[in-house]
Chains A and B, each alone.
Chain A
Amino acid sequence: MATAFADLQPDETTPQVTATVPTGAAPVPETAATPAKGKASPVAARIAGMAKALVAPLIGIAAFLALWAVLAPQVDTSLGALPGPVEVAEQGSALYDEWSAAREAKAEFYAQQDASNAAAIAAGNPAGVRDFEYAGPPTFLDQIFTSLKTVALGFVLATLVAVPIGLVCGLSPLVNAAINPLVQIMKPVSPLAWLPIVTMVISAMITSADPLLPKAFVISALVVMLCSLWPTLINTAVGASSIDKDLLNVGRVLRLGWFAKLTRLILPSSLPYIFTGMRLSLGVGWMVLIAAEMLAQNPGLGKFVWDEFQNGSSQSLARIMFAVVVIGFIGFALDRLMMFLQALASKNHTV
Chain B
Amino acid sequence: MTGFGGSAVGRRQAIAALGAVAFSLALAGCGSSSDTGTSGETVAAANLDGAIEKPNIKLGFIKLTDMAPLAIAKEKGFFAEEGLNVELEPQANWKVLLDGVIGGQLDGAHMLAGQPLAATIGYGTKADLIAPLSLDLNGNAITLSNKVWAMIEPDLPKEGGKPVHPISASHLKPVVASYKQQGKQFKMGMVFPVSTHNYELRYWLAAGGLNPGFYTNGDVAGTVAADVPLSVTPPPQMPATLEAGTIDGYCVGEPWNQAAVHKKIGVPVITDDEIWHDNPEKVFGLRKDFAEKYPATTAAILRALIKAQQWLDADGGANRAEAVKILSQPNYVGADADVIAASMTGKFTFAPGDTRDAKGFNIFFDKYAGYPFYSDAVWYLTQMRRWGQIADDKTDQWYFDTAKAVYRPDLYLAAAKKLVADGAIPAASVPETDGFRAPQGGFIDGVTYDAKAPNAYLAKFAIGLKQGQRVTASGVSGS
Q: What residues make up the interface of A, taking CB atoms closer than 8 Å to B?
A: 78-79, 127, 130, 132-133, 135-137, 153, 157, 160-161, 164-165, 168, 172, 174-175, 177-179, 202-203, 205-216, 218, 221-222, 294-295, 297, 299, 306-316, 319
Contact = CB atoms under 8 A, between A and B. Distances in A.
Contacts of B236: 309-312
A218 B88 contact: no
Nearest to A165: B15
B33 A210 contact: yes
B221 to A, nearest CB: 19
Contact of B259 (A133, A295, A312): A312
Contacts of A212: 29-33
Given A210-B37, A307-B334, A313-B334, A175 B92 contact: no
Interface of B: 4, 7-9, 11-12, 15, 18-19, 22-23, 25-27, 29-34, 36-38, 51, 55-56, 63, 83, 85-92, 96, 99-100, 103-105, 234, 236-237, 239-240, 243, 259, 263, 265, 328, 330-331, 333-336, 339
A312 to B, nearest CB: 6
A6 B46 CA distance: 67
A198 B23 CA distance: 11
Contacts of B32: 212
Contact of B37 (A209, A306, A308, A309): A209
Given A165-B15, A311-B236, A132 B55 contact: yes
A175 B11 contact: yes
Instruction: Give the interface SS of chain A, mostly helix, strand, loop or mixed.
Output: helix
B239 A312 contact: yes
Contact of B92 (A174, A299, A306, A316): A306
Contacts of A215: 30, 103, 105
B240 A78 contact: yes
Given A174-B8, A216-B105, 17 more contacts: A78-B243, A133-B85, A135-B87, A165-B18, A175-B11, A177-B8, A178-B8, A178-B11, A207-B34, A212-B29, A213-B30, A222-B26, A297-B100, A307-B330, A310-B90, A312-B239, A313-B339
Contacts of B36: 210
A114 to B, nearest CB: 15
Contacts of B331: 137, 307
B26 A157 contact: yes
B33 A161 contact: no
A209 B38 contact: yes
B38 A205 contact: no
Nearest to A154: B26
A161 B23 CA distance: 9
A312 B334 contact: yes
Contacts of A130: 55, 83, 85
Contacts of A315: 330
Contacts of B7: 174
A212 B38 CA distance: 13
Contacts of B34: 207-211
Q: Give me the 8 closest cross-chain CB pairs, A-B, nearest first.
A: A311-B334, A208-B34, A210-B37, A178-B8, A137-B331, A310-B236, A135-B87, A132-B85
Given A78-B263, A297-B91, A208 B37 contact: yes
A313 B239 contact: no
24 contacts: A78-B239, A127-B51, A130-B55, A132-B85, A135-B85, A137-B331, A160-B25, A174-B4, A175-B11, A179-B15, A202-B27, A203-B103, A205-B30, A205-B31, A208-B30, A208-B31, A208-B38, A210-B33, A211-B34, A215-B105, A218-B30, A310-B63, A311-B334, A313-B330
Nearest to B100: A297
B461 to A, nearest CB: 35
A161 B18 contact: yes
B63 to A, nearest CB: 5
Contact of B104 (A161, A209, A314, A319): A209
Nearest to B239: A78
A210 B51 CA distance: 19
Contacts of B63: 307, 310-311
A218 B27 contact: yes
A153 B99 CA distance: 24
B59 to A, nearest CB: 10
Contacts of A221: 26
A208 B330 contact: no
